[in-house]
């Protein structure tokens, strides 16, 4: 069969082209079309391609007949630009705080112009942050399975700013400063508060890791299979991983009593809530038997 690949932009110098594909529309899959385009233009590898028909994106695994396409029909092509894997993006994002926090914590004279003894609050906060992002890096390499392989390379700078600036430079500079050093009034914390925050942090991080393992086990390797998640946390909300991460950063916010920690907490929770609502609505749309009593992110609330 013949399939016309039309450009989304009228300025395209490569398209339109006509592909000669072996088989009928019921036999030819979307990935076959993508491979044919890549074979003709190697720089347009599969992850850079977006094929649509009447504004509906073509998905791998489906045939052309699934979209009502016939011999001689056309689909629209868009070049998504240079791509970077989500796994690499996450490693870059979480790597920022893992570099920034030790630099500011261990080299105070470089950032504050003086040396001083860190308070218990500063030390506990430092290890909370480091353990959190070390865990995130471990999950990125060994736990997560990504439904989308890549994202546009240009987005890595925007995505990293959230972690490198808000939870990295901003949080570290204002928490580890001499105003919070040992012996200062601002650094005074009761044992009950410190141990309470540590307990909440450990509970939240362990619970968060458990939900990530549950999500990983839902998707067989190399697939984009979607199932209804069940088990610990998922009986309450659609995104318990976000809820437990909220508790982890709440413990940091309470322990530090710093406006920088409060700012990151509000921004991070707000963003996670937006993601949770989107995921929650997607679950309800895709699964007719999805539990109706589940909330999006906060148990019993929303």
125 and 247 both lie in a single domain: yes
Residue 297 lies in a domain: no
pLDDT for the residue numbered 181: 97
Residue 295 lies in a domain: no
Please tell me the pTM assigned to this model.
0.83
pLDDT of residue 13 exceeding 80, the answer is yes
Higher per-residue confidence, 47 vs 137: 137
Domain of 41: which CATH number? 3.10.20.90
Convert the pLDDT of each residue in 58-75 to its tens digit: 988 899 999 999 999 999
- Is residue 177 within 8 Å of 112, Cβ to Cβ? yes
184 and 110 both lie in a single domain: yes
Convert the pLDDT of each residue in 169-224 to its tens digit: 999 999 999 999 999 999 999 999 999 999 999 999 999 999 999 999 887 776 66
pLDDT of residue 302 exceeding 90, the answer is no
Residue 299 lies in a domain: no
55 and 93 both lie in a single domain: no
Domain count for the chain, please give it. Answer: 2
CB under 8 A, 24+ apart: contacts of 4-7: 4/72, 4/73, 4/74, 4/75, 5/33, 5/37, 5/51, 5/74, 5/75, 5/77, 6/74, 6/75, 6/76, 6/77, 7/76, 7/77
Bridge partner list, 7: 77
Residue 294 lies in a domain: no
CB under 8 A, 24+ apart: contacts of 270-274: 271/162, 272/239, 272/242, 272/245, 272/246, 272/297, 273/242, 273/297, 273/302
Looking at the chain, which runs of residues are DSSP E strands?
2-7, 17-20, 49-53, 56-57, 74-79, 83-85, 150-152
Residue 57 lies in a domain: yes
163 and 140 both lie in a single domain: yes
Provide the token pair at 246: 């909220």
Domain that residue 6 falls in? 2-81
Nearest to 124 by CA among 177, 60, 176: 176
72 and 153 both lie in a single domain: no
Q: How sure is the predictor about 55, in pLDDT bands with cuts at 50, 70 and 90?
A: confident
Residue 136 lies in a domain: yes
Residue 142 lies in a domain: yes
pLDDT for the residue numbered 158: 83
């Amino acid at each position: 069969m013949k399939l016309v690949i039309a450009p989304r932009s009228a300025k395209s110098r490569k398209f339109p082209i006509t592909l000669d594909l072996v088989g009928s529309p019921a036999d030819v899959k979307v990935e076959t079309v993508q491979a044919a385009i890549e074979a003709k233009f190697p720089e347009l590898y599969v992850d850079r391609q977006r094929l649509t028909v009447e504004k509906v994106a073509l998905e791998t695994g489906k045939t052309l007949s699934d979209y009502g396409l016939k011999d001689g029909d056309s689909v629209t092509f868009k070049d998504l630009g240079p791509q970077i894997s989500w796994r690499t993006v996450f490693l870059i994002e979480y790597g920022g705080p893992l570099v920034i926090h030790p630099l500011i914590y261990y080299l105070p004279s470089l950032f504050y112009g003086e040396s001083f003894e860190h308070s218990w609050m500063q030390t506990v906060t430092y290890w909370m942050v480091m353990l959190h992002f070390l865990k995130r890096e471990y999950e990125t390499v060994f736990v997560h399975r990504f439904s989308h392989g890549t994202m546009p390379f240009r987005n890595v700078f925007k995505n990293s700013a959230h972690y490198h600036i808000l939870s990295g430079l901003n949080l570290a500079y204002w928490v580890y400063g001499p105003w919070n050093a040992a012996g200062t009034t601002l650094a005074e914390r009761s044992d009950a508060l410190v141990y309470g925050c540590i307990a909440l942090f450990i509970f939240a991080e362990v619970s968060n890791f458990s939900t990530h393992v549950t999500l990983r086990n839902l998707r067989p390797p190399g697939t984009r299979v979607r199932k209804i998640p069940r088990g610990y946390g998922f009986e309450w909300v659609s995104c318990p991983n976000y809820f437990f991460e909220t508790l982890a950063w709440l413990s940091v916010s309470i322990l530090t009593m710093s406006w920088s920690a409060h700012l990151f907490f509000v921004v991070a929770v707000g963003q996670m809530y937006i993601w949770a609502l989107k995921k929650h609505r997607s679950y309800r749309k895709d699964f007719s038997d999805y539990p109706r009593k589940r909330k999006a992110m906060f148990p019993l609330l929303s």
